[in-house]
Structure 1
Amino acid sequence: MLVIDDEPGVLKALVFALEEEGFGVATAVDGAGGLDAACRGAPDIVLLDVNLPDMSGLDVLARLATDRPGLPVIMISATSDTRLAVKAVKAGAADYVTKPFELDELLYTIRGALQKARMASEIDFRRQASTAHDGVIGTSTQVRALAATISRIAASQAKRVLVLGESGTGKALVARAIHTASARSGGPFVEVNCASLPEQLIEAELFGAEKGSYTGATQRRVGLVALADGGTLFLDEIGELPLALQAKLLHFLEDGQYRPVGGTRGMTADVRVVAATNRDLASEASRGCFREDLYYRLNVLPIAVPALRERDDDVLVLADHFASRYAKSERCEPIRFSPDARACLTAYTWPGNVRELKNLIERLTILHPGSVIERSQLPTDLDSGEVRSAAIEQKLAVEEEKLLRDALARAQGHRGRTAELLGISRHALLRRLQRLGIDGEGRP
């Protein structure tokens, strides 16, 4: 924190009180010194007196708004002047307090300004990230139909969409395309992978948490639902969401209301929820692995994303697109493909879908920048035209089962530690044990 005030007594009292609250405090006694300190110290927030010996605090505020956009500044004045307060807020001040002030009141104002700045920063980051993607690319009949469906759903008022497809088909891309083409495009696009979050933190991540609501909650946490207000919340791998949290998500989907962890007051958010999965949720719901009522609530507008093997006409279009994209990032000429190599690309079944193709083009661009790629330079699997047969699927299942059993043995049957060893949530572990028919008995 930077405090800019020319009264020594005020400075001394503020430094003492704020440091007691855990803030690191720098000070300046005039406008020029304050601007220099703001440039050198990169503070998170500024307390700025309106009356300074060398320039007006409003002039300092204007300079800070130019030099450090987004930096929250709280104006301090010895007089209660409504017009001055309005002028300061219009000029970009986060808030305005009048001397003398109560410490609790000042701390409340400071924390509120920091929270707003943090939220604005996160939303801006996620909004920029939401535009950094490729469009739905391809000329096949399947992609044209997919694009038409995306346009219709984006233009609708529907708030619940379910995107289905194999891993690597571009479900996240479809979710972003829906957001970008909708009236919500000016709002945030917030993405969360339900399989990557620790089970005990998913609720706080989604709905937020009050300070002290759980071990380690040293400050109030803003949930992703709140960040997505007015925009789109993308829940990837929705099938991995723990059953206990599925009930709370269902409640939010019904009326847009939710309650942060440890909170006593309900909140609302206007959010379009796009969920995605590569699982058969209908089958999982019938087996009790996924809430049936949540499945039906999400399945109002399902979108099936075709696998790359179903859209052969797009393989070369995508290959050329990725070649151009990675050439720019590597600052080289795009790679090209010989006729034999192009025939090999179209003959392959792409079990990893678009993600596998994209990774291949990136690797080839790095290893052979600007070259013509011959068939001999392609991976062996592609050159042999290998397909994803039932035998391969069986082999993968055997390997997965072996990995799970080894991890269970290392954790002495403790499912929580097993999940940690594998880098997945406990819920995801239980689903895999059930799917592979492995005895799930053991310590929780």
Structure 2
Amino acid sequence: MRFRIAIAEDDAIQSDLLQSTLSGEGYDVSAFPDGQAALEAIEAGKTRVDVLITDVSMPRLDGLKLTGALKQSRPDLPVIVVTADASVENAVSALRAGAWDFLTKPLEVELLLPCVRRAVERQRLTRELKEVTASVPASESGLFGQSDTMRAVRELVTRVAPSGASVLVHGETGTGKELVARALHSQSPRASNPFVAINCAALPASLVESELFGYAKGAFTDARAARQGLFVEANGGTLFLDEVAELSLDNQAKLLRALQERSVRPLGSNSEVPFDARILAATHRDLETEVEAGRFRQDLFYRLNVIRIDLPPLRDRGMDIVHLATRFLTGVCERDGRPALQVPADVAQKLLAYSWPGNVRELENCIERLAALARGTEVALADLPDGIRLHERERFAMQVDAAEEVVTLEELEKRYVLRVLQLVKDNRSRAAQMLGIDRRTLYRRLEGWGLPTERADGADAAAAAGAAS
């Protein structure tokens, strides 16, 4: 869908120039001769408007009053105020009235278009947030998300679940590996039987055998009664071995024997106990690398890795981050019996920009914090943990796996230029040289993004003076 820009400008020449420029960029454009005409059309719904560009000095209703009126009736509409008076007083008045941004005449295309694109991007995100709030994506499997990678995971789970084959789930910590295991169990013929999970990393090596295989009465000092192990406890159902790569080589050998024989020998017993359980395993490690390094048995790897399911890290799931945040927020509000809270666009942008090393678990923790600190109908940017609120992308990547991850060329250029500046420790002259442009062009770009053109230590000025001499 094309975005529509409205223009309120009494100067016909300036209005025509703006219409021509914006239409050439692919926007639908509506023009109004003054603020009153624009306000009446927008509030009456006669025209859909995504961004408004308004002059300040106009007959009937000036730009500041128009901005203030729309702030009340259309608080989500970005308004870009344009004036020939570049005084600080005018800029402050525009921002107080609710302006999205403030530009001065004569308008420079290099400044106008990035400003419009940022406003349009905010509108796009706001619109998507409303759609998410209206209908949070759900899944019977508990594996939520609309990204291509999560759709593929759900499809593979559905195909594999009816089988009795062993499955290895691989993914970073906090990506939801146990959710995949539970989904495989719940969609299998074994769903009415036990699902038994054990975290191999949480057990001391000396206790693994007794937990998995059980023990007979008197097998050791505190064994006052016999106890069946988890293999037998999961009989008829599913046994999930989480973080299986953390098992010692000795315990790996015992696990392999149990999988081969489909029976276990409890500690202190002379007899074998058969079991019938589907085996699912998970790890955050690369087991093939562990095998090559001699830390994981190759034969056990082949037993477990009949089918492999790879879970993507949260940072690679695009708008799923916002979908999950909204779902978690809804759950917290229902649990605490409080009115529903919304995720505003500025918070969503920060959530999307963060790398989430703790994945879904970290996101859920973050949403709990936001909900606890919320004072209105929305969670607040200021309440985000500092690590997320102050985070800036450090990695420049060209990979795009889903439509919602696509950014504008302007945004792509900005990220790349900022990354180059970071690599050269903010040396503008060196950055311009690496980018193949002159310093003036780089300065114009930085001005257009609202960034300082000179280093605080004056190194660029010194470099320029040295070059001139």
Please indicate, yes or no, whether the TM-score normalized by the shorter chain is above 0.5.
yes
Whether 2:261 is the aligned partner of 1:288: answer no
Q: Select 1:156's aligned residue among 155, 163, 174.
A: 163
Which whole-Å CA distance do the structure 2 matches of 1:182 and 1:369 have between them? 45
Q: Give the corresponding residue for 1:274.
A: 280
Answer whether contact 1:207 1:258 (CA < 8 A) is retained. yes
Which whole-Å CA distance do the structure 1 matches of 2:303 and 2:378 have between them? 50
Answer whether contact 1:235 1:276 (CA < 8 A) is retained. yes
1:245-297: CA deviations, max 9, x gaps? 11111112123111111111111111111100001111111111111111111
The Cα shift of 1:371 comes to: 3.8
Alignment of 1:299-378 (within 5 A): 299-368=305-374, 371-378=377-384
CA distance 1:350–1:185, shift in 2 (3 Å)? same
- What SS is found at the alignment partner of 2:169? strand
Q: Give the corresponding residue for 1:185.
A: 191
Answer whether contact 2:353 2:392 (CA < 8 A) is retained. no
Alignment of 1:7-406 (within 5 A): 135-158=142-165, 160-368=166-374, 371-386=377-392
Which whole-Å CA distance do the structure 2 matches of 1:388 and 1:218 have between them? 58
Runs of 4+ in 1 over 3 A off after TM superposition: 386-389
Answer whether contact 1:316 1:346 (CA < 8 A) is retained. yes
- Higher mean C-alpha deviation, range 380-389 or range 173-182: 380-389
The Cα shift of 1:347 comes to: 1.4
Which whole-Å CA distance do the structure 2 matches of 1:177 and 1:388 have between them? 35
The Cα shift of 1:143 comes to: 0.6
User: What value does the CA root-mean-square deviation take over the aligned residues?
Assistant: 1.9
Which whole-Å CA distance do the structure 2 matches of 1:370 and 1:361 have between them? 15
Answer whether contact 1:168 1:353 (CA < 8 A) is retained. yes
1:64-117: CA deviations, max 9, x gaps? xxxxxxxxxxxxxxxxxxxxxxxxxxxxxxxxxxxxxxxxxxxxxxxxxxxxxx
1:362-390: CA deviations, max 9, x gaps? 2222332764112222112212234587x
Which whole-Å CA distance do the structure 2 matches of 1:387 and 1:265 have between them? 59
- What SS is found at the alignment partner of 1:195? helix
Give the letter for the 1:228 counterpart: A
Answer whether contact 1:256 1:269 (CA < 8 A) is retained. yes
Bigger Rg, which one: 2
Which whole-Å CA distance do the structure 2 matches of 1:251 and 1:265 have between them? 15
Answer whether contact 1:333 1:370 (CA < 8 A) is retained. no
Answer whether contact 1:332 1:369 (CA < 8 A) is retained. no
Which whole-Å CA distance do the structure 1 matches of 2:173 and 2:262 have between them? 29
Give the letter for the 2:149 counterpart: Q
Which whole-Å CA distance do the structure 1 matches of 2:375 and 2:272 have between them? 56
Answer whether contact 2:200 2:242 (CA < 8 A) is retained. yes
Which whole-Å CA distance do the structure 2 matches of 1:370 and 1:207 have between them? 54
- What SS is found at the alignment partner of 1:235? strand
Which whole-Å CA distance do the structure 2 matches of 1:285 and 1:370 have between them? 53
- What SS is found at the alignment partner of 2:279? strand
Which whole-Å CA distance do the structure 1 matches of 2:291 and 2:186 have between them? 31
Which whole-Å CA distance do the structure 1 matches of 2:346 and 2:239 have between them? 43
Give the letter for the 1:357 counterpart: L
Answer whether contact 2:370 2:380 (CA < 8 A) is retained. no
Q: Give the corresponding residue for 2:57.
A: none
CA distance 1:388–1:156, shift in 2 (3 Å)? farther
Give the letter for the 1:148 counterpart: E
The Cα shift of 1:198 comes to: 2.0
Which whole-Å CA distance do the structure 2 matches of 1:231 and 1:202 have between them? 20
The Cα shift of 1:310 comes to: 1.1
Which whole-Å CA distance do the structure 2 matches of 1:366 and 1:135 have between them? 25
Which whole-Å CA distance do the structure 2 matches of 1:334 and 1:266 have between them? 56
Give the letter for the 1:136 counterpart: L
The Cα shift of 1:218 comes to: 1.6
Give the letter for the 1:139 counterpart: Q
Q: Give the corresponding residue for 1:31.
A: none
Which whole-Å CA distance do the structure 2 matches of 1:321 and 1:256 have between them? 41
Give the letter for the 1:135 counterpart: G
- What SS is found at the alignment partner of 2:331? helix
Which whole-Å CA distance do the structure 1 matches of 2:142 and 2:340 have between them? 19
Give the letter for the 2:280 counterpart: V
Structure 1 length as normaliser, TM-score? 0.56
Which whole-Å CA distance do the structure 2 matches of 1:285 and 1:388 have between them? 33
Q: Where does the alignment leave 5 or more consecutive residues of structure 1 unmatched? A: 1-132, 390-444
Which whole-Å CA distance do the structure 2 matches of 1:378 and 1:163 have between them? 31
Give the letter for the 1:170 counterpart: G
Give the letter for the 1:279 counterpart: R
Q: Where does the alignment leave 5 or more consecutive residues of structure 2 unmatched? A: 1-139, 396-469
CA distance 1:328–1:388, shift in 2 (3 Å)? farther
Which whole-Å CA distance do the structure 2 matches of 1:243 and 1:177 have between them? 29
Which whole-Å CA distance do the structure 2 matches of 1:377 and 1:142 have between them? 30
Which whole-Å CA distance do the structure 1 matches of 2:268 and 2:375 have between them? 54
1:321-347: CA deviations, max 9, x gaps? 111111222221233222111111111
Answer whether contact 1:195 1:241 (CA < 8 A) is retained. yes
